[in-house]
Every structure is written in structure tokens, then in C-alpha cells.
Amino acid sequence: MSKEKILTVQDISCVGQCSLTVALPVISACGIETCVLPTAVLSTHTAFKPGWTFRDLTCDIEPISEHWSKENITFKAIYTGYLGSREQVDLILKIIDRHLEKDGAIIVDPAMADGGVLYKGFPDDFPKDMARLCSVADVILPNITEACLMTGMEFRTEYDEKYILGLLSKLAGLGCKKVVLTGVSFDPKKLGVAVYDCASKKVEYYFNDKLPRMSHGTGDVYASAFVGAFMNGKSVYDSAAIAADYTVKTIAGTMDDDSHWYGVKFEKELPYLISRIK
């Protein structure tokens, strides 16, 4: 794929190393011109103590798109993250129709849930709307919770490969071309991803050693690193592996600092990501 500009659509948490404050620097560091469409602005991400501010930007999306149309602005890829409402899903589908180049890629991180539950603020039927967006995607990057919510499969913390294969098959049924299912583990000491080609039904796994730390924002770090590698011509599997290795390094590089509980120090590991891509 060529190294033309891409668009990433997600919220801005001003402090917290997630969403756009991760996507913009990570993808840019990979040599890709990165344009942004914010869906909301928060003072911090929501894992901080109550009191954080939130401003919905839904009403700005259509005017921004109209201006881009007047300027004939298009993108080689559109990468979506956290979307706050059904209306935003509908608007992003319009953005894709208007601004994605004919041979462009759609990459969807259906960021809406973890640990078996939806994030606060989403209605129970929101996964159906996210599934509509995933149906047009070239690559989707759900975790197991998000995959279960979009497909109706039971969420399990203990499972075997048959369960993962069933989940991948149901995700393929949404209409996407490739699936990168994150958070897969068949061994308590390992954590990784399952990469699935929806046409050939081929599945490949990639695992790292599981680190003893839960870190906020690593899903955004992973997805952004994936996009950076993919837009540099790496295959879906290689992009998934590079992103996994990079994310693990960011967690390892933050483990000695308990005060940095709100995210990972992804910045200092960017040279590693760049070297892997090149």
C-alpha cells in the first residue's frame, strides 16, 4: 500500500495516553501522514477519578466532511476507534463513502468493551451498530468481549481453540475481510492474537509472554502500531505480530513506574517499532 495520508476517527482524552493521543504520534512515527477526526474531547480517560469532562463532537462531523468534500480531500485508509453513538457510526459510514479512495482500506477497532461488559455510556444494543461498521471493513481488531457482543456468542474467560475458531467464523459472517482477534490465550503464561482470513478460513496465531500488569490504553497502542505497519506494506499477519511485540515492549518499559498507572510509555519504544517496520 502507498504511504499516502490516512484518517483516524476516535476521541481525544487530553491526558491518559489513549485514543488520538496515541494514534497520531504512533502512526506518524511510522512515516504516514495522519489526519484526525475527533469524536469527543475528554479531560482525561475515564479510568481517572470521577470529575473528568466530556464534550461530544457529533455535530461537528458532518460540517467537517462537507468542507473536506469542497477541498476534494480523500484518504488512503480510514481507521476508526472509539465511537460514542449510533449516530456517529452512521456518519462514519458516510465519511467512508465520501472520502475513502477506491483502493483504500478500512480498519476498524470496535473499541467499546472489555472484561465481558460494555464500557459505561453505551446502550445495550450498540454492538449491533458497531457490527454494521465492521461489515464494511478490510480488517477488524476486536478483543474477545467485543467479538462476543457483536456476534451473540457467550463470553468466556476459559476456552479452547474450538471456541476461538467459532468466534472467528461468526466475525467473518459480519462481512469483513480479515480479523485480528486480540487477547487470545490457551496458556496462562502466554497472550496473543488470532489472525483470520475470512475467505480462505485460514487462522494463524501469534503469542508473547504474558506480563504481570494490566495497562490502560494498550488496545489503542496495538491498533495504531498495526495500522502503521500495515500502511507500510506489511501483511495483516506481520502487522499483527509487529504490533504485539511493540505493545509488549511498551508495557515492559512502564512496569517499573507505579505512578504511571494510566497508560504505557509508548513514546520511548517508537524507535523499536520503526526499526521493525523498516
Mean pLDDT score of the chain, rounded to an integer? 95
**pLDDT at 2 > cutoff 70:** no
Given pLDDT bands bounded at 50, 70 and 90, which one contains residue 215?
confident
- Mean of the pLDDT values across residues 55-70? 97
For 250-263, the pLDDT digits (tens) are 999 999 999 998 99
Of 70 and 45, the one with more pLDDT? 70
Given pLDDT bands bounded at 50, 70 and 90, which one contains residue 47?
confident
**pLDDT at 1 > cutoff 60:** no
- Mean of the pLDDT values across residues 207-233? 94
**pLDDT at 30 > cutoff 80:** yes
For 143-184, the pLDDT digits (tens) are 999 999 999 999 999 999 999 999 999 999 999 999 999 999
In this structure, what C-alpha cell is assigned to residue 56?
Answer: 461530544
- Mean of the pLDDT values across residues 104-133? 95
SS3 47: coil
Strands 117-118 and 100-108: unpaired
| DSSP assignment letter at 198 | T
pTM of the model: 0.96
- Mean of the pLDDT values across residues 94-118? 96
Please report the pLDDT score of residue 84 as a whole number. 84
Which residues share a beta bridge with 205? 194
Please report the pLDDT score of residue 46 as a whole number. 82
- Mean of the pLDDT values across residues 28-33? 97
> Nearest 5 degrees, angle CA 103-CA 107-CA 111?
165
**Strand (E) or helix (H) holding 11:** strand 6-15
**pLDDT at 209 > cutoff 90:** yes
Number of H helices, E strands in the chain: 9, 11
Q: Who contacts 68 (Cβ-Cβ below 8 Å, separation ≥6)?
A: 98, 99
**pLDDT at 3 > cutoff 60:** no
Please report the pLDDT score of residue 120 as a whole number. 82
Contact 13, 257 (CB under 8 A): no
> Nearest 5 degrees, angle CA 117-CA 87-CA 175?
70
Q: What sign for the dihedral angle of Cα 76, 169, 237, 143? A: positive
Please report the pLDDT score of residue 32 as a whole number. 97
Share of the chain above pLDDT 90, in %: 89
Given pLDDT bands bounded at 50, 70 and 90, which one contains residue 23?
very high
Please report the pLDDT score of residue 121 as a whole number. 80
